[in-house]
Amino acid sequence: MHDSSSQYLTVDLVDSLIYLDCFINEVLRYSPTIDGTSRSVVVDDCVPKSGIRLYKGDQVLIPTSALGRDTRLWNIDPEQFYPERFLNEDKNHHPCALLPFGGGHR
């Protein structure tokens, strides 16, 4: 007899598909939906390490497509399409290394 509950895709079922999540994240990392995004500086500040001064009202470009290929942010070769990275060494990547939709509130 056929189990009719298997005919429907539920949120719980999708949440249980771990490899699907890895694959989607890898597609978004490897080929992001946007090349970059910008943010407005809201208070005067200084970039750590570089000492670059930022002033309220300045625009900062964030190259989201470059972050996905930056070897400093990914343990496994970022030029390689490898969904398993999200199961292994790159599972706990830097939170800003993957910004496929520019980050922020949606």
The answer to whether position 93 is within a domain reads: no
pTM above 0.85, yes or no: no
Average pLDDT along the chain: 88
The answer to whether position 102 is within a domain reads: no
Confidence of residue 6 (pLDDT cuts 50, 70, 90): low
The answer to whether position 105 is within a domain reads: no
Domain that holds residue 80: 4-86
* Structural domain total, the chain: 1
Q: Contact 70/78 with Cβ under 8 angstroms? A: yes
More confident residue, 102 or 57: 57
Please give the helix or strand (H or E) that residue 53 lies within, else none: strand 53-54
Query: Does the pLDDT at position 79 exceed 50?
Result: yes
Q: What gap in Å lies between CA 90 and CA 87, rounded to an integer?
A: 7
The answer to whether position 80 is within a domain reads: yes
Reduced DSSP (H G I as helix, E B as strand, rest coil) percent helix, strand, coil of the chain, to 5? 30, 10, 60
The answer to whether position 98 is within a domain reads: no
The answer to whether position 25 is within a domain reads: yes
